[in-house]
Amino acid sequence: MTTSLSPEDRLRAAGQRITSQRLLLLRLLDASDGHLDAESLFHAAQQEMPEINLSTIYRNLEVLTRAGLVAQRYFARDHSREYFELATTAEHYHFTCTQCGKIIEFETPLIAQVRSDLKRQHNVNIRHACICFEGLCPDCIPQSQP
Amino acid sequence: MTTSLSPEDRLRAAGQRITSQRLLLLRLLDASDGHLDAESLFHAAQQEMPEINLSTIYRNLEVLTRAGLVAQRYFARDHSREYFELATTAEHYHFTCTQCGKIIEFETPLIAQVRSDLKRQHNVNIRHACICFEGLCPDCIPQSQP
DNA sequence: TCCTTTTTGCGAATGATTTGCAAATATCGG
DNA sequence: CCGATATTTGCAAATCATTCGCAAAAAGGA
Ligand SMILES: [Mn+2]
Ligand SMILES: [Mn+2]
Ligand SMILES: [Zn+2]
Ligand SMILES: [Zn+2]
* pLDDT, tens only, A18-45: 999 999 999 999 999 889 999 999 999 9
- What is the rounded distance in angstroms from the CA atom of residue B86 to the CA atom of residue B73? 11
Given this model, what pLDDT does residue B89 score? 81
Given this model, what pLDDT does residue B144 score? 64
8 Å CB contact between B137 and B100: yes
Given this model, what pLDDT does residue B76 score? 75
Q: Which domain holds residue B28?
A: 1-88
**Are A115 and B130 within 8 A, CB to CB?**
no
Say yes or no: B84 and B137 in one domain.
no
Nearest Cβ partner for B138 among A74, A106, A123: A123
- What is the rounded distance in angstroms from the CA atom of residue A48 to the CA atom of residue B80? 31
Query: Average pLDDT in the B92-98 region?
Result: 95
pLDDT-derived band of residue A144, with 50, 70 and 90 as boundaries?
low
pLDDT-derived band of residue B146, with 50, 70 and 90 as boundaries?
very low
pLDDT-derived band of residue A91, with 50, 70 and 90 as boundaries?
very high
Say yes or no: B78 and B102 in one domain.
no
Give chain B's domain count: 2
Instruction: Say how many CA atoms lie within 13 Å of B128 toward its Cβ.
Output: 17
Given this model, what pLDDT does residue A34 score? 83
- What is the rounded distance in angstroms from the CA atom of residue B36 to the CA atom of residue B45? 12
Residue A130: CB atoms within 10 A of its CB come to 19
- List the CATH number of the domain containing B112: 3.30.1490.190
pLDDT above 70 covers a percentage of chain A that reads 96
Say yes or no: A76 and A98 in one domain.
no
Residues of A in contact with B76 (CB under 8 A): none
Shortest distance between the Cα of A7 and any Cα of chain B, in A, equals 27
Nucleotides of D under 7 A from a protein CB: 7-13, 17-21, 26-28
pLDDT in tens, A92-104: 999 999 999 999 9
Say yes or no: B84 and B117 in one domain.
no
What average pLDDT does the structure give for chain B? 93
Residues of A in contact with B121 (CB under 8 A): 106
Say yes or no: B96 and B61 in one domain.
no
Say yes or no: A45 and A97 in one domain.
no
Strand order in the sheet with A70-73: A36-37, A83-86, A70-73
What residues contact residue B36 under an 8 Å CB cut-off, 6+ apart? B28, B29, B44, B83, B84, B85
Last residue of a domain, one of B61, B88, B115: B88
Say yes or no: B75 and B95 in one domain.
no
Shortest distance between the Cα of A73 and any Cα of chain B, in A, equals 10
8 Å CB contact between B61 and B41: yes
- Percent helix, strand and coil across chain B, each to the nearest 5: 40, 20, 40
Identify the closest residue of chain A to B118 by CA–CA distance: A106
- What is the rounded distance in angstroms from the CA atom of residue A112 to the CA atom of residue A91? 10
pLDDT-derived band of residue B79, with 50, 70 and 90 as boundaries?
confident
- For residue B108, the CA-to-ligand 1 centroid distance in Å is 24
Given this model, what pLDDT does residue B78 score? 77
Say yes or no: B73 and B1 in one domain.
yes
Nucleotides of C under 7 A from a protein CB: 6-12, 16-20, 25-27
Q: Is the pLDDT of residue A80 over 70?
A: yes
Say yes or no: B43 and B6 in one domain.
yes
- What is the rounded distance in angstroms from the CA atom of residue B17 to the CA atom of residue B67? 11
Q: Is the pLDDT of residue B117 over 90?
A: yes
**Are B124 and A110 within 8 A, CB to CB?**
no
8 Å CB contact between B93 and B105: yes
Q: Which of B70, B80, B99, B114 to mutate to test the interface with A (most CBs of A within 10 A)?
A: B114
Nucleotide nearest to A60 (CA to C1'): C7
Last residue of a domain, one of A88, A107, A133: A88
Q: What is the pTM of this model?
A: 0.91
Say yes or no: A56 and A24 in one domain.
yes
Say yes or no: A49 and A105 in one domain.
no
pLDDT in tens, B27-64: 999 999 889 999 999 999 999 999 999 999 999 999 99
Say yes or no: A63 and A133 in one domain.
no
What 3-state class would DSSP assign to A102? coil
Last residue of a domain, one of A88, A103, A119: A88
Q: Is the pLDDT of residue B103 over 50?
A: yes
Q: Is the pLDDT of residue A10 over 80?
A: yes
CA A39 / C1′ C3 distance in Å: 36
What residues contact residue A91 under an 8 Å CB cut-off, 6+ apart? A107, A111, A112
What residues contact residue B71 under an 8 Å CB cut-off, 6+ apart? B65, B84, B85, B86, B87
- List the CATH number of the domain containing A4: 1.10.10.10
Q: How far, CA to CA in Å, does A80 sit from each of A37, B130, B133?
A: 11, 13, 18
pLDDT in tens, A49-70: 999 999 999 999 999 999 999 9
pLDDT in tens, A123-134: 999 999 999 999
Given this model, what pLDDT does residue A139 score? 95
